[in-house]
A = this chain, B = another copy of it.
């Protein structure tokens, strides 16, 4: 056994982003992930941008380390196959709208009847219960309702993060909940039901902002790229992009002022203490911006690094494909898309020394592993041929 979750089987009904991110992380860790896709077209993201010659890079990234079987879950034999795989699985993950799996006859109670010890995880926008549970969930809606947007951007213009953080963050929270339930099972406990919601997850990631409201009755302001408690701490324009500078204490500010050859700022009554710098932050940021604008980002960061002032260049995705740290951490992997070639995707961030994540298994073609999965479930060749003829697989 050289993978952390080797021998653990996951029956995966997830589509789109949140669930697939969850099961990709678990698949990389060694679990056997059996992805059930809609017969005919498969996961909608198989055609999601970016697409090259009909192949989606979005799907290819998020579905490595998985096997695919396409099933029509509305047919009796499709449902029976799903139950047969569930009976031999340790974990089931799904991210349909609440209620859908039960309507298909594949809800927790249905699966428990064939596999009492399964860990059954549902991932959704608002959770399986509560007044909003039936609301359609999109990342943009959840981020907005869960507080993230109201805390981001500028006073007059709140901003939603570009990447769908509510999806990925909920995927990893769900993976954590699943492994906690698996640990419980491995130590003599039974299986159980896991219910993880995007709204709950984002709400729990709001840092100190809820205590701020509940303890001090204060509504947080939006600071743009600034910081609630320190200054200068912002993004500054260079002659070819932006650089973040984070001077979170007095000695860092002193080092910055020295590097700028503006030691006068250290003694200046407007800037000599953090609370004064916060009060006069616009003036200070303008002084710093005039300085940063003279340099290109790489030169500026190198100067700030040498002066030990926390700083970083705003990397674009092109920059990241060449970034020496990303490369050193094996965070860029090559993956084949059959018939198309080999492309670069993000690696796995869970660096376990003895059982490192394995990202070598490319995303599956639709239904690619149907026969292998059915044979493993005890289906005979003739039966498999009949299912093929009947269009069930």
Residues of A within 8 A of B (CB): 1, 4-5, 7-8, 17, 25, 29, 48-50, 52, 56-58, 60-61, 126-127, 129-133, 135-138, 140-154, 158-165, 167-169, 172-173, 175-177, 179-184, 186-190, 192-197, 199-201, 203-216, 218-220, 222-225, 227-229, 233, 235, 242-244, 246, 248, 305, 308, 310-318, 320-321, 323-326, 328-329, 331, 343-355
Contact = CB atoms under 8 A, between A and B. Distances in A.
Given A153-B159, A210-B345, A328-B129, A141 B310 contact: yes
A213 B321 contact: yes
B163 A148 contact: yes
A349 B145 contact: no
Among A204, A213, A314, residue most surrounded by chain B Cβ atoms (within 10 Å): A204
A353 B229 CA distance: 39
A103 B363 CA distance: 43
B346 A210 contact: yes
A179 B173 contact: no
A71 B227 CA distance: 31
B317 A140 contact: no
A58 B206 CA distance: 10
Contacts of A312: 135, 141-142, 144-145
Contacts of A135: 305, 310, 312
Given A162-B148, A317-B220, A350 B173 contact: yes
A174 to B, nearest CB: 8
B192 A321 contact: no
Nearest to A195: B351
B58 A207 contact: yes
B242 A158 contact: yes
30 contacts: A1-B184, A49-B208, A50-B208, A50-B215, A58-B211, A130-B325, A130-B329, A131-B325, A135-B312, A144-B315, A145-B244, A145-B323, A147-B315, A147-B316, A147-B320, A149-B242, A150-B316, A150-B317, A152-B163, A176-B350, A179-B179, A180-B352, A180-B355, A193-B353, A194-B350, A194-B351, A210-B317, A210-B345, A215-B343, A219-B317
A286 B352 CA distance: 50
Contact of A206 (B52, B163, B205, B355): B163
Nearest to A50: B212
B210 A321 contact: yes
A363 to B, nearest CB: 11
A204 B186 CA distance: 29
A33 to B, nearest CB: 14
B4 A184 contact: yes
A2 to B, nearest CB: 9
Contacts of A223: 162
A206 B176 contact: no
B216 A351 contact: no
A1 B215 CA distance: 34
A320 B220 CA distance: 13
A147 B315 CA distance: 5
A261 to B, nearest CB: 22
Contacts of A148: 161-163
Contacts of A354: 184, 189-190, 192-193
A20 to B, nearest CB: 11
A165 to B, nearest CB: 6
Nearest to A340: B215
A145 B216 CA distance: 33
Which 6 pairs from chain A and chain B are nearest by CB?
A57-B211, A130-B328, A151-B162, A200-B349, A58-B208, A192-B354
